Chain A
Amino acid sequence: MKPNVLAKKIVFFVGIVLVWQIVDMANVWPDKIFPSPLEVGENLWYGASDGTLFYGIGTSLWRLAIGLAIAIAGGIILGVFMARVETVNQTIGSIALGLQSIPSVAWSPLAIVWFGLTDAGIIFVTIAGAIFSVTINTYTGVKNINPDYIAAAQNMGAKGGQLITKVLIPAAFPYMISGFKQGWAFAWRGVIGAELLFSFLGLGFLLNVGRQLSDVSQVIAMMLVIMIIGIVIDGLIFKKLEDKVMSRWGLR
């Protein structure tokens, strides 16, 4: 990051905390519903020192990882078949867009009925929230492959599984990455949303505990953690992956 960009960011964040502190000191609202930055920091510190915060982060990330992995694998398979088999496109394809528009958390009631208040239920919500983004982007990617790539590969003897793994998926990858990015964001919302409703461990659960105890500093602290994890995962994993693929293809 360039020094002046970094400087702008630091000034921006320090500014936010300062304004927050000033509003708090003006005593417009009682501390109970509008905690100071210091109180939020204290909450994070307590959570870190007794380990509950890390346990919550670990639980949520674990659920995210399993759910997202299944969603990506399943979404790629569905997307490739939608693009290559007309019947699959006419059937599953016709509802994929509709399914994608269902917010992940809306799958929770069904998940509770089917799986009870378990990890499996939360992971189900995660998968359901993410899989159709991956499916649709994979489908678009495979549909947009330069037909000469496929013809050349078939001409050199590629068919069936080899054609899929060695040509269709790598050729569609720039599109698929958009699906992964979108899918991961939906998956993360799904995990937190489901944890809120299931009230069964994880960051969403800690957020809910904060509300139940009327501890607004905990609510804000957990929201900050959820946001920071979002920024970190997007920047460390998906942005890197995207940059790598785009530069390899000479697209940037």
Chain B
Amino acid sequence: MAKLEAKNIVKYFDHDGQQLKALGGINLTVEQGDFICLVGPSGCGKSTFLRIIAGLQTPEEGQILLDNRPILNTGPDRILVFQEGALFPWLKVRDNVEFGLKIAGIPESERHEISQRYLDMMDLTKFANSYTYQLSTGMRQRVAIARALVMDPEVLLMDEPFAALDAQTRDTLLVEMQMIWQKTKKTIIFVTHSVSEATVLGNKVAVFTHRPSTIKKIVNIENKRPRLSEDETLIKYQQEILAELRPEVKSKGDEQ
């Protein structure tokens, strides 16, 4: 059974008073335990699509079904990891990680137990009492991931979380992300502009067209894990995806 379904999602952008059709009817089925990466030309609305799944934006048409029930609002069953982390600078790392649990009214001792588990998993324990400005960008994204995982969401949504990281840090996190996925068996929808990142992480990669965007192809990647970005066996998938993307990027260039 499908974990999450997007049915004919249409979304308009307001661009200088003009209505621009960004999402032109997206259909996508995500199975339980999928790690699906969304790639597409920049400005195609893949991040918007992710926010619609999170319930943070509403589409003009179409609906999202989670476990066959339409979603009406945002909520902790679909946690979004933001590109810049969106950590709260007024809270220590531990309190950031526990934020959602506190909102949910979970008692302090239980909160500590849960947060400690994920602080350990993300190798953050020695930073538990730091403020976020004291951390490197990579460490901040670890905190953001821990903050999402403590909520035990049905679907984990990630919006280019590694875009601002240096190459080495990104490589480490790419491996860790695969381990987290294998360990937690989460359903993950991951937006990225990097084709190589998508092939390393995803068991499926969905390719978006230029706007008004639709999904033009889904590539299945069954290679064993952990995969590394330099794996040669991934190259043919990257070529296949790039071949799909190239005309889309070009059509954007024509427009401008």
Contacts and interface: CB of A to CB of B under 8 A. Distances in A.
A157 interface: yes
Interface string A230-252: 00000000000000010011100
| Interface magnitude class on chain B | 20 to 34
B131 A149 contact: no
Interface string B46-86: 00000100111000000000000000001110111010101
Is chain A's interface secondary structure helix, strand, loop, or mixed overall? helix
A154 B133 contact: no
Contact of B90 (A151, A155, A158, A171): A171
Nearest to B133: A250
A167 interface: yes
A249 B133 contact: yes
B88 A171 contact: yes
A155 B133 contact: no
B1 interface: no
A152 B80 contact: yes
A87 interface: no
Residues of A in contact with B, size category: 20 to 34
A124 B102 CA distance: 38
B125 to A, nearest CB: 21
B89 interface: yes
Given A151-B86, A152-B82, A157 B104 contact: yes
B76 A157 contact: yes
A162 to B, nearest CB: 6
A91 interface: no
Given A155-B75, A156-B79, A156-B99, A250 B131 contact: yes
B103 interface: yes
Given A155-B54, A156-B151, A162-B103, A248 B90 contact: yes
Given A157-B100, A171-B88, A248-B131, 12 more contacts: A148-B84, A149-B88, A151-B86, A153-B99, A153-B103, A154-B56, A155-B54, A155-B56, A156-B76, A157-B76, A245-B90, A248-B89
